[in-house]
């Protein structure tokens, strides 16, 4: 398949991330405790755009290490570590090894620890200054009896932090899972699968695109993805989240993006959450990639950045996840992404990180076969997508009856596929 057309203003988006990496504007002041996350969006976004050479890697690496909670020499054996989100509590800057806690409220945070390790890995650091033992103790101490994880001591617990814990252990090469009870975490994810096949933030919670990705990716990192039931239902649920034009009154917004839950508006951040879920299940090619790219194109700002929806202001979170989602579908000029860790393949391969394999590739093929879509809809973009419609070839095999808010029957679905694929390329 030839590369897709350059949907994005690459230089403008790179400049946008660089600007936010150096100076955060006033609207971001409420995110002061989460600055590591903002930095991750910028650094990983620049890597996907192929503009990482414009970053002062040494300065960023030293700043990240300054957020590590250093274990004092006289600390008890069970002292935990991890990374804080920023130096908002006034701890001294010590980029070489981090700083000791400055107060009882100065504690490591799972999401900040994940983003810290991701930034260091993307920038080529060998993680030699990470206190692995203290960090793994910190992760282990946050696991709850039901297998979930708290973000920090006394904080909320749900599926997001199960993923963070699994990713942290993977970054630190904890192949024996000393930092977590992998079996309990797996059981928690499996117990959170809803009646529709998708995954919620916890048992009994509503299915959601974000929790779907974090739960599924956690299983992939833990090597237990093969124990997930009803994969075909998950793929159907995810494909049903791509909004068609027929769902939008008056045909505007133009559709093509993913929604996080049924009957919600499309949002660029779900380009990654839903797209990564499909990619991990080997079904990424079943979504309408060109429509997804078109929606993101309508949401990008001329001066850089991508908004959550058409007409909204761009922000760093939606800018990153929109671009990451387009990388998953092979948008031209973007580096391929390892959806499980949130890193480019370049960064993961350069770091030598080995992701636990599921040894269940046959089940992925079975997922496609069960859907009846393996090769059924094969679309290849012509040399110039803007001048003639996409050529569509269909198999004689019957398509499944998708559960979709506006598509009730197989015939209606087939008609919708043909009309939407053709309309969006004109």
Report pLDDT for 346.
Answer: 95
Give the per-residue pLDDT at 376. Answer: 29
Spatial separation of the C-alpha atoms in residues 131 and 5, rounded to whole Å: 44
Mean pLDDT over all residues of the chain? 81
Per-residue pLDDT, 255 = 72
Integer Cα distance of 271 and 321 in angstroms: 7
94 and 124 Cβ atoms separated by less than 8 Å: no
Does 60 reside within a domain?
yes
Mean of the pLDDT values across residues 221-234? 93
Residue 2 domain-assigned (yes or no): no
Closest CA to 186 of 150, 153, 228: 228
Q: Outline where 268-339 has alpha helix (H).
A: 270-280, 289-299, 316-328
Residue 4 covered by a domain: no
Residue 262 lies in a domain: yes
Residue 5 lies in a domain: no
Average pLDDT estimate for 267-278: 96
> Is 340 a domain residue?
yes
**337-346 mean pLDDT:** 94
Question: What's the CATH code of the domain at 294?
Answer: 1.50.10.20
Report the pLDDT value the prediction gives residue 413, as an integer from 0 to 100: 39
pLDDT higher than threshold 90 for residue 423: no
Q: Look at residue 381 in the predicted model and tell me its pLDDT.
A: 29
**At 252, is the pLDDT very low, low, confident or very high (cuts 50, 70, 90)?**
very low
Of the listed ranges 100-114, 231-245, 322-336, the least confidently predicted one is 100-114
b/e per residue 65-91 (b: at least 16 CB within 10 A): bbbbbbbeeeeeeebbbbbbbbbeeeb
Tally of domains within the chain: 1
Containing domain of residue 222, as a range?
10-423
Higher pLDDT, 115 or 390: 115
Q: What is the percent of the chain with per-residue pLDDT over 90, rounded to a whole number?
A: 61
In a domain, 300, yes or no: yes
How many Cβ atoms from other residues are within 10 Å of residue 226's Cβ? 15
pLDDT at residue 41 is higher than 70:
yes
Residue 383 pLDDT grade (very low, low, confident, very high; cuts 50, 70, 90): very low
Q: Is residue 1 part of a domain?
A: no
Per-residue pLDDT for 369 more than 90?
no
């Amino acid at each position: 398949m030839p590369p897709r057309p350059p949907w994005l203003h690459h230089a403008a988006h790179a400049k946008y991330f660089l600007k936010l990496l150096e100076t955060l504007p006033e609207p971001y002041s409420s995110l002061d405790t989460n600055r590591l996350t903002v930095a991750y969006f910028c650094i990983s976004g620049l890597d996907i755009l192929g503009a990482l050479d414009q970053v002062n890697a040494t300065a960023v690496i030293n700043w990240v290490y300054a957020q590590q909670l250093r274990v004092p020499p006289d600390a008890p054996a069970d002292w935990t570590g991890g990374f804080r989100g920023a130096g908002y509590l006034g701890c001294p800057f010590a980029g070489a090894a981090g700083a000791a806690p400055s107060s009882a409220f100065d504690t490591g945070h799972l999401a900040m620890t994940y983003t810290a390790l991701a930034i260091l890995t993307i920038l080529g650091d060998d993680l030699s200054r990470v206190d692995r033992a203290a960090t793994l103790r910190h992760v282990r101490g946050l696991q709850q009896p039901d297998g979930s994880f708290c973000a920090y001591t006394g904080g909320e617990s749900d599926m997001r932090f199960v993923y963070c814990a699994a990713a942290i252990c993977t970054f630190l090469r904890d192949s024996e899972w000393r930092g977590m009870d992998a079996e309990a975490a797996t059981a928690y994810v499996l117990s959170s699968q809803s009646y529709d096949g998708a995954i919620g933030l916890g048992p009994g919670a509503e299915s959601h695109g974000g929790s779907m990705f974090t739960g599924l990716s956690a299983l992939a990192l833990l090597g237990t993805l093969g124990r997930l039931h009803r994969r075909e239902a998950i793929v159907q649920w995810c494909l049903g989240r791509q909004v068609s034009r027929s769902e939008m009154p008056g045909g505007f917004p133009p559709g093509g993006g993913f929604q996080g839950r049924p009957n919600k508006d499309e949002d660029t951040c779900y380009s990654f959450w839903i797209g990564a879920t499909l990619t991990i299940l080997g079904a990424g090619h079943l979504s309408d990639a060109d429509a997804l790219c078109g929606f993101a194109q309508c949401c990008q700002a001329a001066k850089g950045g991508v908004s959550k929806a058409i007409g909204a202001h761009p922000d760093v979170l939606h800018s990153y996840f929109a671009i990451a989602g387009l990388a998953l579908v092979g948008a031209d000029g973007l580096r391929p992404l390892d959806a499980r860790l949130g890193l480019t393949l370049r960064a993961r391969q350069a770091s030598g990180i080995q992701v636990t394999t599921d040894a269940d590739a046959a089940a992925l093929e079975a997922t496609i076969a069960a859907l009846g879509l393996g090769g059924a809809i094969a679309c290849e973009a012509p040399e110039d997508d803007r001048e003639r419609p996409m050529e569509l070839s269909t198999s004689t095999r019957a398509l499944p009856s998708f559960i979709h808010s506006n598509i009730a029957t197989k015939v209606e679905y087939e008609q919708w596929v043909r009309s939407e694929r053709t309309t969006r390329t004109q």
